[in-house]
Amino acid sequence: MNLSEIRDLIPQGHKRFWSKVAVKGADDCWEWQSSRFDNGYGKYWMNGKIVKAHRFAFFLFNDLRFVRNVLHKCDNPCCVNPLHLFEGSLSDNTQDMIAKGRNRVFVGSQNGNSKLSEVEVAEIRRWIEIGMTDREISQHFDLKVQHVNKIRHRRIR
Ligand SMILES: [Zn+2]
């Protein structure tokens, strides 16, 4: 891939994020140019919250799929090249909870039979934390915007 092909892959929008990245070739590390955590991970401020830059890059390149653990193939913590990032496994605790089916709860009784798992609600909360809008989240999870808004304001669990 040449540089312009790589740039074409970068999701539209989020210009502020990419302005802080030294985008290079596909095989190179794309190092975060702004401030870093003590452990070397890039630090990105978004809507008043701090997110890890490599996690956010992974998120942008994977259909806005939020995963807890994003790991580096290159062992370079400040790298946000999506080709160098991969998803770590869910924590044992979360897998255990899913396996035992303890995570199903009813939420939003006024929305009829809508039903989300605790894991899904926790995931929606993480999306909220990194600054996604209610509309973006509702489209991804196929929920009503008002429903996401209730989760945001913790009116439903
Ligand atoms: Zn790298």
- Nearest of 40, 28, 43, 33 to residue 83 by alpha carbon: 28
Mean pLDDT confidence for 4-22? 73
Q: Are 78 and 40 in contact (CB under 8 A)?
A: yes
Q: Which residue has the higher pLDDT, 2 or 107?
A: 2
Question: In this predicted model, what pLDDT tens digit does every residue of 30-88 receive, in sequence order?
Answer: 999 999 998 899 999 877 778 899 988 988 888 767 776 788 889 899 999 989 998 87
How remote is the CA of residue 157 from the centroid of ligand 1, in Å?
Answer: 38
Mean pLDDT confidence for 15-25? 88
Report residue 3 as tokens.
Answer: 């540089």
Q: Are 31 and 79 in contact (CB under 8 A)?
A: yes
Q: Which residue has the higher pLDDT, 19 or 107?
A: 19
How remote is the CA of residue 78 from the centroid of ligand 1, in Å?
Answer: 8
Could you say which DSSP state residue 87 is in?
E
- Nearest of 130, 14, 19 to residue 66 by alpha carbon: 130
pLDDT at 6 over 80: no
**What's the pLDDT score for residue 31?**
97
- Torsions phi, psi of 32, nearest 5? -70, 130
Q: Which residue has the higher pLDDT, 9 or 122?
A: 122
How remote is the CA of residue 84 from the centroid of ligand 1, in Å?
Answer: 5
How remote is the CA of residue 136 from the centroid of ligand 1, in Å?
Answer: 29
Mean pLDDT confidence for 15-43? 91
Q: Which residue has the tokens 């991970």?
A: 41
Question: In this predicted model, what pLDDT tens digit does every residue of 96-150 receive, in sequence order?
Answer: 555 555 444 444 433 444 567 777 788 788 778 777 788 878 877 778 888 889 8
Residue 32, beta-bridge partner list: 21
Angle CA(136)–CA(139)–CA(143) in degrees, nearest 5?
A: 115
pLDDT at 1 over 60: no
